[in-house]
Structure formats: C-alpha cells, structure tokens
Amino acid sequence: MRSRRIILLFASMTGLLIAWQLLIIFGDFPRFILPSPGDVLKRFLEIVRDGSLYRHLLTTLKEVLLGLTLGVSVATVLGYLIAKSRWMERLLSPYIVASQSVPMVAIAPLLVIWFGPGMLSKVLIAALIVVFPVLVNTVVGVRAVPEDLHALMRSLQATRWQTLRLLEIPAALPVFLGGLRVGATLAVIGAVVGEFVGADSGLGFLINVGRGLYDTALVFVAVFVLISMALVLYGTVVLLEARLLTWQRRSGD
C-alpha cells in the first residue's frame, strides 16, 4: 500500500518534470520567463553553496513556527472559552467573523508599519491567519464531546481540570488536529505575505528579489522550498494524528 503510493508520487513528479522540459524544448521561452529544470537546479545549488538559502529558509521557518505556536495557543484558549460559555461566544464571535472578512494582505502593511520590518510583524501575520481555522475546529471539537461522557465525569465528581485532561482534550483532538493541518499550511502563507510587504530576509523576500532582477530561476527555487516547507509541516501534523489517534484508525488502513 505504502510503497505503491510512493511509486505513484514519484511517477507523477517525473512526468511533470518531463512535461516542463518538453515545454522548454518546443516552446522556446526566454529564460527569464520560464527557466528549465536544469537552470532551477543550478540556481538552487548556488544559493545552497553560498549559504544564503539556509539564512532565508531559517528566517521564514522561525516566523512560521513562532506564528503557528502563537496562533494555535490563542485560538485554542479562545475556542475553548467560546465553546464553554454562551457569554464569551456572544462577546467574541462578531469580532472573529469580522476579522475574517478583511483580507490578510490588507492588514499586513499596517502590522509592518506598527511592528517594524523585522520578524515580529511576520510572526503576528502568520499567527492571525492561523487563528481562525484552529479556533473554529476547537469550538466544534469541544462542543461535540458527548453529553453522557460529561455526565459520567460529573457523576465521578471530576474537577474541571480532570474533565479537560481526561475527557475534553482527547475527545476534541481529532477535530482540533484537522484545524491544525489547515493552520500549518496557512502559517507559511502568512509569513510570506508579511515578507512581501517589507523584509530584509526570508523566502518571500527572496521571491521579491528574484522578481526585481528577472532572476526567475531564483523565484522558482524559493517557491519550491516554500512548498516543501508547507508539505513538511502538513506531514508533521499528519504523523502527529497517526500517533495520537490510533484509536480512530480502522484496522484495514
């Protein structure tokens, strides 16, 4: 099952590369419009060698991870409060829904003006974009805890903390992790949006530089590295799910 999936993935990627190369051969595009796979690889090795890729990757990764941590923490706490209290829901949900109707690209410049072009503004943008899906899933997950299991915990005179630890967290975890999957990939987008607005390092900054110099191969490299980062983050959450939710998996999977 597993090796078959890997073969399929490998085959489709090879197919794409061949199609790309054929496009270069028969399309006769100038290199600044569409570089060949070889050009991109060459550019990749160049910036690996001079250490700049590592520096930009590290900047973006830090922003993403810090933003994700911050966003998930805020979303989990708020989500729990909203799920447990009608009053909190009435107070907070108008703001949360309103915040979703404003596109992040519109707020990003403000945050860069307020918090400077450094890392902080990117972390905040990534966090803001992560909050919504994680919050919504936290609310749904906590609300879906079966009423009879709550009654069971009450019949045992469980404390609030015991109910949280023994019932609510494990019961809400599958839905919560679904939100985290989305959040993890959105955090990458958030960091890059922030870097586009104003930054002096990071993969988003690298894309901006490459665009300015018509160094299209560099743009490709940065985009591929970003995709890989998002995939690794997503994969980490999937692994986490497989680890934590063994009880959900059917024996046939």
Partner 1 sequence: MHPPRAKSEPILDIQNLSAVFSDGNGDLRALDDLTFSVQKQEFLCVIGPSGCGKSTLLRILAGLLPPTQGNVSFRNEPLVGPRRGVGFVFQNANLMPWRSVFENIALPLEVIDTPRSQIQPRVQELVELVGLQGFESWLPRDLSGGMAQRVAIARALVHDPDVLLLDEPFGALDALTREQMGYELLRVAVHASGGRTRRKTIVMVTHAITEAIFLADRVLVLSPRPGRIRMDVPIELPRPREERVRYTPEFGELAHRLREAIG
Q: Which stretch binds partner 1 (CB under 8 A): 22-30, 42-50, 142-150, 187-195?
A: 142-150
Query: 125 is written with which tokens?
Result: 């943008």
Site pattern 172..191 for partner 1 (x: CB under 8 A): -x------------------
Task: Tell me the closest approach of the beta carbon of residue 57 to partner 1, in angstroms.
Answer: 37
Burial (CB count <10 Å: 0-12, 13-18, 19+), residue 134: buried
Binds partner 1 by CB under 8 A, chosen from 30, 103, 157, 200: 157
Between 228 and 248, whose beta carbon lies closer to partner 1?
248
Regarding 3 and contact with partner 1 (CB under 8 A), the answer is no
Binds partner 1 by CB under 8 A, chosen from 38, 94, 116, 170: 170
Binds partner 1 by CB under 8 A, chosen from 74, 92, 140, 149: 149
Please list every residue from 192 through 251 that binds partner 1, using CB under 8 A. 245, 247-248
Between 88 and 173, whose beta carbon lies closer to partner 1?
173
Regarding 252 and contact with partner 1 (CB under 8 A), the answer is no
**Site residues for partner 1 per CB under 8 A:** 146, 148-149, 151-158, 162, 166-167, 170-171, 173, 245, 247-248
